[in-house]
Amino acid sequence: MTVQRLIAIIDDDDAVRNGLSNLLRSVGYEVIRFASAEDFLKYNAAYSADAIILDVKLAGINGFELLARLVNAHPPLPVILISGHGDERMRARAIDEGAVAFLRKPIDVDTLLECIRLIVAKGGEPS
């Protein structure tokens, strides 16, 4: 029996959440979606995610603030930061602060899926 991997999507744009969710489900991932970092933090089961796709620009707790919490969690959670307005400095900051990848919107599908495949491969068997 194959266990589906869980990917959490945190983005305040419903179209982005829907698009990423549909894409990931179409290739066999289970998806949980949140419109804010606060919603994610309230939902304790989200910490069982195998990977997190996180928008940088969020109202309230922003992507970098949540990234800091997630990379310092035990165990740390792998985060792919995404942004529609990112530049090289933002990408460098994201990687320096612990993101496994930084992708600009619109997101290249093949790059995103490859990032997730690598994260899942490093994670071993799901819990």
Q: Which of 47, 50, 53 is nearest to 19 (CA)?
A: 53
Taking the CB of residue 85, how many other CB atoms lie within 10 A of it?
9
Residue-wise pLDDT for 64-113, tens only, equals: 999 999 988 878 889 999 999 888 999 999 999 999 999 999 999 999 99
pLDDT digits (tens, 9 = 90+) for 13-23: 999 999 999 99
19 CB contacts (<8 Å, ≥6 apart)?
none
User: What is the model's pLDDT at position 45?
Assistant: 61
pLDDT of residue 75: 81
Determine the pLDDT at residue 118: 94
Residue 26: exposure state from Cβ atoms within 10 A (0-12, 13-18, ≥19): exposed
CATH numbers and ranges of domains, the chain: 6-123 (3.40.50.2300)
Question: How many percent of the chain have pLDDT more than 70?
Answer: 92
For residues 1 and 120, the model is more confident at 120
Cα(49)–Cα(32) distance, rounded to whole angstroms? 9
Residue 86: per-residue pLDDT: 80
